Amino acid sequence: MTGPKGTGTGALLIHGLGGTQFDLGPMHKALRRVGVQTHAITLPGHGGQPEDLVPVLAEDWLESVTRAYEELVDQYETFHVMGMCMGALLALALCERKQHRKGRLVALAAPVFIDGWSTPWYRWLRYPVYHIPGLPARIRVDEDEPYGIKNDLVRAVVKAKFERGDNFHYRWVPLACVRQVDRLRRWVQAGARRIACPTLVVHAREDELTSLRSADFLEAAVPDVRKVVLEDSYHMICVDNDREQVVSSVLDFLGFDPARARRQARRTVEVPMVAEAVNTLIDEYIAALTTQHFEAVFPLLAPTVRWRHLGSHPLAGAYDDRDAVIAMFARLGKLAGESVQIAATSAPRIEGQTAEISLAGSFVADGQAVEWRGTQRLQCSNGRITAVEYRPAAGADVEPVPA
């Protein structure tokens, strides 16, 4: 007796080492827009503290994704498997183990070899260290800049999230779990030739963790494979400069028109802003600015935002796109560090899609405390802030605080 046949299309998406579904960027949303039901999994040792990874074995990760696969695969007529970084290794191993043929396999930035341009020459020393009792559990492998990201905006957001302690990705992992990744890599190297389903391999030429050798190996080993090489990203390809190309390549490989996802996304953005939407946007902007979570300001800005800072402030000038504004905030960070304080001195005055905000602030630069007061005028359109102009209050440009 057989069970009921599944319907529709589903997909299992697997995150990377120390990560969450943030690793896969807009992939869940893009797949749902074309009618694919996506399913996320939190791997053993994740979702808590980095120390939780110490006792986890590669077998635990593979068993976890195998259980998820077995629970889901029969619910659908077509079922795809996709992974990012270590999640790609797990996706490859899973599809080989289950001889997956009910759908396709997508391997994003799979680190079959750990040999990227940022990996130190002494990386091979980890192998003898693995055999020193207790030491691999105590050695921390930190997540450092560039965090696998070439795009300045996204890197600034990620850096701020790390500094704030947001639980989106571990700040470090124990060497003990890197040993388990090495075991998983060997499984993939040994089993790639037995993968039965069509496979897409997407890899960045400038991946700092794993070179194109990994993609070339999979292209040569997997029987039915398509390879896409990205030219403007580092390792975290789903959130970096080539993220739209990644989404388009994946949708095309799975048999969907990438324009379907893009058209729906544009329609959402181009809806005219009603008063409530403007109020919400301004409230989010003020909250990000006054809590010094400047990385939360950037997504609120249009890519072509025009930012003008008048007066004699050290950051005075014209900034003609979002990248320039990010660079301005980076300069502020170098100038004043964590000493920046900003407050809204009254409720915003909103008329149509224009808002005025009275602000006061202070910071310390070169041991000198300074204060300022002024007004920002914001113009909103299509769900974003398109223009910002700051004017200092009369007689209240940047001033030293009396000793």
Dump pLDDT digits (tens) for 343-364.
999 999 999 999 999 999 888 8
Q: What's the pLDDT score for residue 242?
A: 92
Q: What is the pLDDT of residues 81-117, one digit of tens each?
A: 999 999 999 999 999 999 999 999 999 999 999 999 9
Identify the CATH homologous superfamily for domain 9-266: Alpha/Beta hydrolase fold, catalytic domain (3.40.50.1820)
Residue 92, SS3 per DSSP: helix
Q: Which of 377, 401, 371 is nearest to 391 (CA)?
A: 377
Average pLDDT over residues 122-145: 89
Kindly report which listed range (36-40, 50-54, 63-67, 122-126) carries the lowest average pLDDT score.
122-126
Residue 124 vs residue 250, higher pLDDT:
250
User: Which phi and psi (to 5°) does residue 177 adopt?
Assistant: -85, -25
Q: What's the pLDDT score for residue 403?
A: 41
pLDDT category of residue 3 using cuts at 50, 70 and 90: very low
Count of positions (residues) in the chain = 403
Q: What's the pLDDT score for residue 299?
A: 86
pLDDT category of residue 398 using cuts at 50, 70 and 90: low
User: Which phi and psi (to 5°) does residue 103 adopt?
Assistant: -165, -155
- Backbone Cα Rg of the chain: 24
Q: What's the pLDDT score for residue 272?
A: 62
Residue 39, SS3 per DSSP: strand
With beta carbons less than 8 A apart as the criterion, state whether 96 and 66 touch.
no
Q: What's the pLDDT score for residue 262?
A: 67
Q: What's the pLDDT score for residue 164?
A: 67
d(CA 235, CA 245): 14
Kindly report which listed range (122-136, 213-227, 267-281, 288-302) carries the lowest average pLDDT score.
267-281
* pTM for the predicted model, two decimal places: 0.73
d(CA 308, CA 320): 8
With beta carbons less than 8 A apart as the criterion, state whether 172 and 345 touch.
no
Q: What's the pLDDT score for residue 312?
A: 79
On the question of pLDDT at 191 being above 80, the answer is yes
What are 338's two structure tokens? 């964590």
Residue 197, SS3 per DSSP: coil
Beta bridge partners of 11: 38, 80
pLDDT category of residue 389 using cuts at 50, 70 and 90: very high
Q: What's the pLDDT score for residue 123?
A: 83
Average pLDDT over residues 52-62: 97
Q: Compute the mean pLDDT over every residue in the chain, rounded to the nearest whole number.
A: 89
On the question of pLDDT at 265 being above 50, the answer is no
Q: What is the pLDDT of residues 7-28, one digit of tens each?
A: 899 999 999 999 998 899 889 9
- Per-residue DSSP letter, 207: -
Which residue ranges make up each domain of the chain? 9-266, 275-400
User: Which phi and psi (to 5°) does residue 363 adopt?
Assistant: -160, 170
| CATH 3.40.50.150 describes domain 275-400 | no
